[in-house]
Structure 1
């Protein structure tokens, strides 16, 4: 299994009144990492169909410690599960090397034109499989 690693610096607008990254903004950081995996990394592997539509049917977030504004955070992601018409992305967010949050997102490939969920293609599955936790 390979973990996909994404680093970013939280923005000033991510900060709450206490000087920490706001809890809702954790989902934005996770989204940025997920987009980097499904759009940028997938495209490098010749898979562009994920860009055509993936919706989130569920998020779970555990907040383990505050994250201060301005510090680079590292998000490590992997695929927890792949099914015919959904897959689960798991995340760990590290701040200064310390685990600050864990999360999961249930992702559903979606046909935006037809307005309904669709099955993963063999190419999408092949792209995701190296990230599956064994």
Structure 2
């Protein structure tokens, strides 16, 4: 799987009186990593960013282990599960070399803030997102989303047929 990894520095203020990072901050950590990942995809000018925005419609976080404050950053990994039309689904893991603290999924919509309406994900955005799309190990290196939605492929990859499933005639 191709992931974007952001080494997130923990902040002293993130810890509660027990030294644990408050679980509500995990959504902020996901947002920070996603924003850093999207920096290369979104337009540089404010008007362009307003017309090419993405908004979160749902977040689900599975907390796996307490994260205690420490000096070393924690890795926030981000990958594309699926995208189609105006929908984008991202997967996340907050982890270090020893353990996974949380896994999460956000569902997002490509959105034009000026019109207040969803928009289709552009060809350039699809090209960018294809770098971080889950790969099916049967696909011989082709990027194929394995989530519940259609493929999120770069324009050059869209004509390729999906790999055969288990038990399919070869």
1:110-121, aligned counterparts within 5 Å? Answer: 110-121=111-122
- What residue number does 2:152 align with? none
Structure 1: 5+ residue stretches without partners: none
Alignment size in residue pairs = 129
- What residue number does 1:54 align with? 54
Aligned-partner Cα distance in 2 for 1:68–1:95 = 12
Q: What's the CA shift for 1:95?
A: 3.5
Q: What's the CA shift for 1:96?
A: 5.0
1:18-37, aligned counterparts within 5 Å? Answer: 18-37=18-37
Distance 1:5 1:51, change over 3 A: farther
- What residue number does 2:126 align with? 125
- What residue number does 2:138 align with? none
1:38–1:51 contact (8 Å) kept in structure 2: no
Return the TM-score normalized by structure 2. 0.71
Instruction: List 4+ stretches of structure 1 deviating above 4 A.
Output: none
Return the TM-score normalized by structure 1. 0.88
Q: Normalized per residue, which structure has more strand?
A: 1
1:90–1:105 contact (8 Å) kept in structure 2: yes
SS of the equivalent of 2:24 reads: helix
Q: Normalized per residue, which structure has more helix?
A: 1
CA RMSD of superposed structures (Å):
1.7
Q: What's the CA shift for 1:56?
A: 0.2
SS of the equivalent of 1:131 reads: coil
List per-residue Cα deviations over 1:57-87 (Å, max 9, x = no partner).
Answer: 0000000000111341001111000111011
- What residue number does 2:161 align with? none
Aligned-partner Cα distance in 2 for 1:90–1:83 = 15
- Relative CO higher for 1 or 2, CA cutoff 8 Å, sep ≥ 6? 1
